[in-house]
């Protein structure tokens, strides 16, 4: 089992595509250590990592060979809506229809209240004398 | 009302006589039944008119109650009598009659009718037919009686001021009725005082109000029973409709959002409105990093611009402002820079967005992991894990800790950290950690991946890992069963079937596999055949395999299985009749010329040797026909066979034909040997007269025919040996028998005529 992690070596989140891996490789190669031996070792690691990502499945979701960091595709961020994951767009609503429906609901609630109150008072009201 | 005029219905002025009509205000005299009996018994009709008014009124009430006619001498007005009748009808539960009588009262008189109807309001409410009449008799009192106004508001249905009436009569909040609660819940949700409307109240809201709630973002599910087209419209608003439905229903913004979320640019058919342009610009930015600020919505524009500034590559460190920290969907884009320690929260962000700061801190664990600084990584992960309230961040912190533990060789600790997290990614990590101990330890985690994976490719990758395991275990069996339910490619499915056949044959034989494929049929037939007792024949296996064979681009394993099946034919127990399987394989073109000749002859001879044959069948066994076809094909096409193949084919064919001829010849000889004895037996049971003896004669003739059929069959089989390498002595002996039989049969036939 390969314990080295190409994503970790390149400093990119698990699931980054090949383009992202190439960009990370280019960035990292520019900042190699000054010590030539150390720089060579780093470059070997980076090259290995890039090759592994290139050789992996086209869809990173199917990759089973490397430890996933982050394990969650959202990079550990809470899965709430925002600019890049917008919530549903409900569209505009018909204000007149809403107003009319609200009037109806109020009237129904009023009638319901009246029914309850009338029933309550009825129970306390004997028939008047003839 | 203390006193009022029963004669005209007017209100009392406090005098003894009605100010309107001049009739005394005497109420009906007390005494009821006694009163009317006394009045009617002691006074004749002419004298009744002289009785006190109170007594007459009481008499009228009692007579009405008894259903008796009222004498004119009671001298009461029609209105008064109508009132007493209405009262009596109410007491008798007849609301229709009561309202009929009330309709006869003067419009504004007899205000006591309001109290009378209020006393029976529940019954009135339950009798919808009476509502219009009740409204008519109550309407004149609406302005002077809250009870009347309330009843008219309830029964009238069109009262415009019902809300005011209810507030006056029942209080401002409308009480605790379901509609009142629905109204309150709706208003609280729309104004942001509540997050949602309780589920039991949602069905009371009209579609327009549900739309409004969806727009406010406080409705997440579609209520049951909502009619069309309101249901489709609401489904679109909630993001529950398909992309097609959403676009067709005219929700361009939602359709554009759906396209963006699936990684596609919103199409032209959605138009070019500002919402669609926003999503096109967002898609461009996410896929190409091209920032078209002018098309983005103002709110998103600033967030994306600020995010971009801390996402691009830069030297040194940059602060993350509030706008970015407040939007968790920007965080994953920050990850590469955050993992390099290049980002820090701007002033005050730590206080305002503590979750973001914890997330940022966890990102600093990655350089530690990369550098192999395991204790440092564990320290960061531990701190974030303890402080984080958010489950996703806490799980990710444990994921970091698990990796560090794994690298330290502490597999149990790593698995413990991963064990509590829910998600396919964590299960993949647990599988990797566990498999470093041994391959079998990974199996439960593979099962978990298959259960949790939302991505088909990951699920399939897990299945591919599963098929690498061949050590039988309950976990493996359970995984294979689950995997056979999945939609995976044909090769993988076949490998699962082969595994199931090896480890779970009894289940496979009868498993109701969903969307049964052709290879399912083959492996299930094979499993059923191999089970004890076998519930399928070789013919079913061959038929399933032939079906696969005919498939264009058949997989290689079908040919392997065909070779396996044919190679096994020769070793089958003698009791197994393989002829149907061989014929199926031969007709499907699955056998070579040599195999076709060889296996047909073998299976035919095997059937001849084991199956019962009787001349009374009237036809040869299928095995005899197969054997004849094999011999025919051998003579017609033996030139196509290579010399060495030809030799083995000829040898096996000759042996099978000789064996069959011997079997059949022996059968015929045994019949011949028993013939005399059978004839003698028949002769002993001959009838005494010609007529009585007819059945016996027929039996004897049949016996001769049977002998002839046996000899015919034996001769036919012996002819198949012609030209084949068969012992000449065997042929000579058989021919001698045939000659003897042929010579004798005409004589026997004559004897039985």
pLDDT tens readout for residues A99-122: 999 999 999 999 999 999 999 999
pLDDT tens readout for residues B269-321: 888 999 999 999 999 999 888 999 999 999 999 999 999 999 988 888 999 99
Cβ–Cβ under 8 Å, residues A119 and B155: no
With CA atoms as reference, the chain B residue closest to A71 would be B425
Query: Chain B closest CA to A126's CA: distance in Å?
Result: 6
Position B1 pLDDT exceeds 50: no
> In this predicted structure, what is the pLDDT of residue B44?
53
Would you call B170 and A113 a contact, using CB atoms and an 8 Å cutoff? yes
Burial of B359 (0-12, 13-18, 19+ CB in 10 A): buried
Cβ–Cβ under 8 Å, residues B276 and B259: no
pLDDT tens readout for residues A55-66: 887 788 888 889
Position B680 pLDDT exceeds 60: yes
Would you call A72 and B423 a contact, using CB atoms and an 8 Å cutoff? yes
Position B352 pLDDT exceeds 70: yes
- Taking contacts as CB-CB distances below 8 angstroms, the residues of chain B near A108 are 179
Tell me the average pLDDT of chain B. 89
- Taking contacts as CB-CB distances below 8 angstroms, the residues of chain A near B400 are 69
Would you call A82 and B355 a contact, using CB atoms and an 8 Å cutoff? no
Which range is least confidently modeled, A81-95, B39-53, B376-390, B632-646? B39-53
Measure the CA–CA gap between B226 and B234, rounded to whole angstroms.
9
Cβ–Cβ under 8 Å, residues B369 and B404: yes
By Cβ distance, the residue of A65, A71, A122 closest to B122 is A122
Q: Where are the domains of chain B?
A: 33-166, 178-240, 255-296, 422-503, 505-571, 660-751
Q: Tell me if residue A79 falls in helix, strand or coil.
A: coil
By Cβ distance, the residue of B253, B436, B460 closest to A89 is B253
Question: How far is residue B376 from each of residues A77, B336, B460, B554, measured CA to CA in Å?
Answer: 22, 19, 36, 56
Q: Which of B78, B41, B36 is nearest to B54 (CA)?
A: B36
> In this predicted structure, what is the pLDDT of residue B49?
63
**DSSP code of A88?**
P
A50 Cβ under 8 Å from any chain B Cβ: no
pLDDT tens readout for residues B81-130: 999 999 999 988 999 999 999 999 998 889 999 999 999 999 999 999 99
> In this predicted structure, what is the pLDDT of residue A32?
87
In chain B, the percentage of residues whose pLDDT exceeds 70 is 96
Contact residues for B293 (Cβ-Cβ < 8 A; gap 6+): B281, B301, B304, B305
Would you call B425 and A130 a contact, using CB atoms and an 8 Å cutoff? no
**DSSP code of B468?**
T
**DSSP code of B471?**
S
Measure the CA–CA gap between B753 and B749, rounded to whole angstroms.
6
Position A50 pLDDT exceeds 50: yes
By Cβ distance, the residue of A1, A77, A129 closest to B392 is A77
Measure the CA–CA gap between B89 and B301, rounded to whole angstroms.
76
With CA atoms as reference, the chain A residue closest to B301 would be A83
Tokens at B685, concatenated: 């049971």
Q: Dihedral of CA B254/B260/B266/B272: which sign?
A: positive
pLDDT tens readout for residues B131-142: 999 999 999 999
- Taking contacts as CB-CB distances below 8 angstroms, the residues of chain A near B116 are 127-128
By Cβ distance, the residue of B366, B435, B457 closest to A69 is B366
Tokens at B224, concatenated: 């049951």
**Global ipTM:** 0.78
The arithmetic mean of pLDDT across residues B605-618, rounded, is 90
With CA atoms as reference, the chain A residue closest to B154 would be A111
Tokens at A113, concatenated: 């209240």
pLDDT tens readout for residues B428-481: 999 999 999 888 899 999 989 988 888 888 888 898 888 888 788 888 898 888
The CA-to-CA distance between both ends of chain A, in Å, stands at 100
Query: Chain B closest CA to A41's CA: distance in Å?
Result: 13
Measure the CA–CA gap between B479 and B496, rounded to whole angstroms.
10
A100 Cβ under 8 Å from any chain B Cβ: yes
Would you call A117 and B175 a contact, using CB atoms and an 8 Å cutoff? yes
Q: Dihedral of CA B39/B40/B42/B43: which sign?
A: positive
Tokens at B595, concatenated: 């195999």
> In this predicted structure, what is the pLDDT of residue B421?
76
Contact residues for B422 (Cβ-Cβ < 8 A; gap 6+): B395, B452
> In this predicted structure, what is the pLDDT of residue B515?
66
- Taking contacts as CB-CB distances below 8 angstroms, the residues of chain B near A59 are 455, 457
> In this predicted structure, what is the pLDDT of residue B367?
87
Tokens at B390, concatenated: 């958010």
- Taking contacts as CB-CB distances below 8 angstroms, the residues of chain B near A61 are 455, 457-458
CB pairs under 8 A between A and B: 297
Interface test with A, best of B3, B7, B166, B380 (most A CBs within 10 A): B166
pLDDT tens readout for residues B474-527: 888 988 888 888 888 888 888 899 999 999 999 999 888 876 677 888 999 999
pLDDT tens readout for residues B725-745: 999 999 999 999 999 999 999
Question: How far is residue B66 from each of residues B32, B58, B62, B85, measured CA to CA in Å?
Answer: 11, 12, 6, 11
Q: What b/e readout covers A24-60, taking b as 16+ CB neighbours within 10 angstroms? A: bbeebeeeeeeeeeeeeebeebbeebbebbeebeeeb
- Taking contacts as CB-CB distances below 8 angstroms, the residues of chain A near B90 are 127
Position B189 pLDDT exceeds 50: yes
Position A15 pLDDT exceeds 60: yes
Tokens at B373, concatenated: 């600084």
Q: Dihedral of CA B484/B489/B490/B495: which sign?
A: negative
Interface test with A, best of B396, B409, B486 (most A CBs within 10 A): B396
Query: Chain A closest CA to B550's CA: distance in Å?
Result: 33
Measure the CA–CA gap between B36 and B51, rounded to whole angstroms.
11
Burial of B243 (0-12, 13-18, 19+ CB in 10 A): middle
> In this predicted structure, what is the pLDDT of residue B9?
84
Would you call B432 and A66 a contact, using CB atoms and an 8 Å cutoff? yes
Contact residues for A58 (Cβ-Cβ < 8 A; gap 6+): none
By Cβ distance, the residue of A77, A80, A91 closest to B251 is A91
Give the CA angle between residues B315, B319, B320 to the nearest 5°.
Answer: 120
Tokens at B303, concatenated: 């967030």
By Cβ distance, the residue of B211, B217, B370 closest to A9 is B370
The arithmetic mean of pLDDT across residues B632-650, rounded, is 93
Which range is least confidently modeled, A80-89, B65-74, B278-287? B65-74
- Residue B718 confidence class, pLDDT cut points 50, 70, 90: very high
Would you call B121 and A93 a contact, using CB atoms and an 8 Å cutoff? no
Query: Chain A closest CA to B193's CA: distance in Å?
Result: 18
> In this predicted structure, what is the pLDDT of residue B665?
94
What is the gyration radius of the CA atoms in chain A, in angstroms?
A: 33
Cβ–Cβ under 8 Å, residues B208 and A100: yes
Which range is least confidently modeled, A111-115, A124-128, B27-31, B225-229? B27-31
The arithmetic mean of pLDDT across residues B529-542, rounded, is 86
The arithmetic mean of pLDDT across residues B369-378, rounded, is 92
Query: Chain B closest CA to A95's CA: distance in Å?
Result: 9
Query: Which is more confident, B172 or B44?
Result: B172
Contact residues for B352 (Cβ-Cβ < 8 A; gap 6+): B322, B325, B326
Cβ–Cβ under 8 Å, residues B518 and B551: yes
By Cβ distance, the residue of B212, B331, B367 closest to A75 is B331
Helix spans in B408-442 (H): 411-419, 424-435
Q: Where are the domains of chain A?
A: 6-62, 94-124
Query: Chain B closest CA to A21's CA: distance in Å?
Result: 11
Q: Tell me if residue A1 falls in helix, strand or coil.
A: coil
Would you call B392 and A113 a contact, using CB atoms and an 8 Å cutoff? no
Measure the CA–CA gap between B629 and B586, rounded to whole angstroms.
12
Position B230 pLDDT exceeds 80: yes
Q: Which of B86, B148, B82 is nearest to B111 (CA)?
A: B148
Measure the CA–CA gap between B354 and B85, rounded to whole angstroms.
79
- Taking contacts as CB-CB distances below 8 angstroms, the residues of chain B near A3 are 406-407, 436
Query: Which is more confident, B248 or B620?
Result: B620
- Taking contacts as CB-CB distances below 8 angstroms, the residues of chain A near B167 are 110
Position B43 pLDDT exceeds 70: no
- Taking contacts as CB-CB distances below 8 angstroms, the residues of chain B near A129 are 27-28
Measure the CA–CA gap between B411 and B606, rounded to whole angstroms.
61
Give the CA angle between residues B170, B172, B178 to the nearest 5°.
Answer: 75
Q: Tell me if residue B344 falls in helix, strand or coil.
A: strand
Tokens at B447, concatenated: 């099962």
Pairing of strands B343-345, B318-320: parallel
**DSSP code of B728?**
H
The CA-to-CA distance between both ends of chain B, in Å, stands at 130
Q: Which of B347, B368, B370, B366 is nearest to B357 (CA)?
A: B347
Interface test with B, best of A72, A74, A116 (most B CBs within 10 A): A72
By Cβ distance, the residue of B6, B170, B396 closest to A72 is B396
Would you call B254 and A89 a contact, using CB atoms and an 8 Å cutoff? yes
Show the 3-state SS of B146-192. HHHHHHHHHHHCCCCCHHHHHHHHHCCCCCCCHHHHHHHHHHHHHCC
By Cβ distance, the residue of A98, A107, A117 closest to B150 is A117
With CA atoms as reference, the chain B residue closest to A31 would be B315
Q: Tell me if residue B6 falls in helix, strand or coil.
A: coil
A36 Cβ under 8 Å from any chain B Cβ: no
- Residue tagged 């595709």 (tokens): A73
- Taking contacts as CB-CB distances below 8 angstroms, the residues of chain B near A6 are none
- Taking contacts as CB-CB distances below 8 angstroms, the residues of chain A near B165 are 110, 114
Cβ–Cβ under 8 Å, residues B473 and B440: yes
> In this predicted structure, what is the pLDDT of residue A56?
80
Measure the CA–CA gap between B141 and B107, rounded to whole angstroms.
9
Position B220 pLDDT exceeds 60: yes
The arithmetic mean of pLDDT across residues B556-581, rounded, is 87
Measure the CA–CA gap between B312 and A11, rounded to whole angstroms.
14
Q: Dihedral of CA B729/B734/B735/B737: which sign?
A: positive
Q: Which of B630, B631, B564 is nearest to B600 (CA)?
A: B630
């Amino acid at each position: 089992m390969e314990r080295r992690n190409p994503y970790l070596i390149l400093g990119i989140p698990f699931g980054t595509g090949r383009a992202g891996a190439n960009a990370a490789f280019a960035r990292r190669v520019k900042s190699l250590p000054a010590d030539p031996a150390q720089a060579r070792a780093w470059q070997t690691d980076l090259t290995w990592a890039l090759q592994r990502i290139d050789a992996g499945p086209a869809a990173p979701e199917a990759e089973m060979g490397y430890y996933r960091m982050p394990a969650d595709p959202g990079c550990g961020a809470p899965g709430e809506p925002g600019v890049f994951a917008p919530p549903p767009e409900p569209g505009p609503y018909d204000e007149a229809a809403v107003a009319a429906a609200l009037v109806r609901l109020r009237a129904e609630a009023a009638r319901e209240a009246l029914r309850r109150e009338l029933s309550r008072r009825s129970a306390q009201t004997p028939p008047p004398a003839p | 009302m203390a006193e009022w005029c029963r004669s005209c219905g007017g209100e009392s002025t406090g005098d003894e006589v009605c100010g309107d009509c001049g009739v005394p205000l005497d109420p009906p005299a007390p005494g009821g039944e006694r009163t009317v009996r006394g009045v009617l018994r002691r006074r004749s009709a002419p004298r009744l008119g002289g009785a006190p008014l109170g007594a007459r009124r009481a008499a009228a009430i009692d007579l009405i109650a008894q259903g008796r006619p009222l004498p004119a001498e009671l001298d009461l007005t029609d209105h008064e009598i109508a009132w007493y009748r209405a009262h009596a009808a109410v007491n008798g539960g007849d609301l229709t009659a009561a309202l009929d009588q009330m309709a006869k009262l003067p419009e504004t008189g007899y205000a006591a009718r309001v109290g009378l109807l209020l006393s029976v309001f529940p019954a009135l409410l339950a009798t919808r037919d009476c509502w219009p009449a009740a409204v008519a008799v109550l309407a004149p009192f609406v302005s002077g009686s809250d009870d009347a106004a309330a009843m008219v508001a309830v029964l009238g249905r069109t009262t415009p001021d019902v809300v005011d009436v209810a507030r006056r009569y029942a209080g401002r909040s409308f009480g605790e009725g379901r509609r009142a609660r629905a109204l309150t819940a709706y208003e609280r949700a729309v104004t942001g005082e509540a997050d949602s409307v309780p589920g039991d109240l949602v069905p009371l809201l009209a579609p327009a109000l549900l739309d409004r709630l969806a727009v406010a973002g406080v409705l997440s599910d579609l209520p049951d029973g909502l009619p069309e087209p309101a249901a489709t419209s609401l489904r679109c608003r909630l993001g529950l409709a398909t992309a097609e439905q959403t676009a067709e229903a005219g929700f361009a913004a939602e359709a554009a959002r759906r396209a963006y979320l699936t990684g596609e640019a919103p199409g032209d058919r959605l138009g070019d409105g500002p919402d669609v342009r926003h999503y096109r610009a967002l898609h461009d930015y996410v896929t190409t990093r091209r920032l078209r600020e002018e098309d983005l919505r103002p709110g998103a524009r600033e967030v994306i611009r600020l995010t971009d500034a801390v996402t691009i590559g830069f030297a040194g460190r940059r602060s993350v402002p509030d706008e970015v920290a407040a939007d968790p969907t920007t965080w994953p884009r920050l990850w590469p820079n955050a993992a390099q320690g290049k980002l820090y929260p701007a002033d005050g962000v730590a206080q305002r967005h503590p979750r973001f700061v914890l997330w940022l801190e966890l990102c600093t664990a990655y350089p530690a992991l990369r550098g192999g600084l395991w204790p440092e990584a564990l320290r960061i992960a531990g701190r974030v894990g303890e402080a984080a309230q958010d489950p996703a961040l806490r799980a990710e912190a444990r994921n970091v800790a698990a990796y560090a533990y794994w690298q330290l060789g502490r597999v149990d600790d790593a698995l413990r950290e991963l064990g509590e997290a829910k998600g396919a990614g964590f299960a993949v990590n647990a599988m990797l950690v566990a498999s470093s101990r041994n391959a079998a330890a990974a199996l439960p985690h593979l099962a978990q991946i298959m259960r949790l994976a939302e991505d088909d490719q990951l699920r399939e990758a897990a299945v591919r890992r599963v098929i690498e395991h061949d050590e039988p275990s309950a976990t493996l069996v359970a995984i294979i069963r689950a995997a056979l339910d999945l939609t995976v490619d044909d090769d993988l499915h076949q490998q699962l079937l082969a595994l199931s056949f090896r480890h779970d044959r009894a289940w496979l034989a009868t498993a109701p596999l969903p969307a049964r494929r052709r290879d399912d049929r083959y492996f299930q037939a094979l499993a059923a055949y191999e089970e004890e007792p076998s519930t399928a024949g070789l013919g079913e296996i061959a038929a399933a395999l032939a079906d696969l064979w005919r498939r264009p681009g058949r997989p290689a394993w079908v040919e392997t299985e065909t070779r396996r099946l044919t190679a096994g034919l020769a070793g089958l127990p003698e009791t197994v009749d393989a002829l149907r399987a061989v014929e199926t394989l031969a007709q499907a073109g699955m056998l070579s010329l040599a195999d076709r000749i060889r296996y047909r002859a073998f299976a035919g001879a095997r059937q001849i040797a084991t199956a019962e044959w009787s001349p009374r069948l009237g036809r040869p066994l299928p095995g005899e026909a197969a054997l004849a076809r094999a011999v025919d094909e051998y003579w017609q096409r033996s030139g196509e066979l290579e010399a060495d193949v030809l030799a083995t084919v000829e040898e096996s064919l000759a042996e099978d034909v000789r064996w069959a001829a011997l079997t059949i010849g022996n059968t015929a000889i045994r019949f011949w040997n028993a013939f005399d004895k059978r004839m003698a037996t028949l002769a002993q049971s001959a009838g005494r007269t010609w007529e009585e003896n007819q059945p016996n004669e027929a039996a004897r003739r049949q016996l001769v025919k049977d002998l002839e059929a046996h000899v015919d069959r034996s001769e036919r089989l012996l002819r198949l040996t012609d030209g084949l390498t068969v012992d000449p002595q065997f042929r000579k002996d058989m021919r001698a028998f045939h000659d003897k039989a042929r010579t004798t049969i005409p004589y026997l036939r004559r004897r039985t005529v």
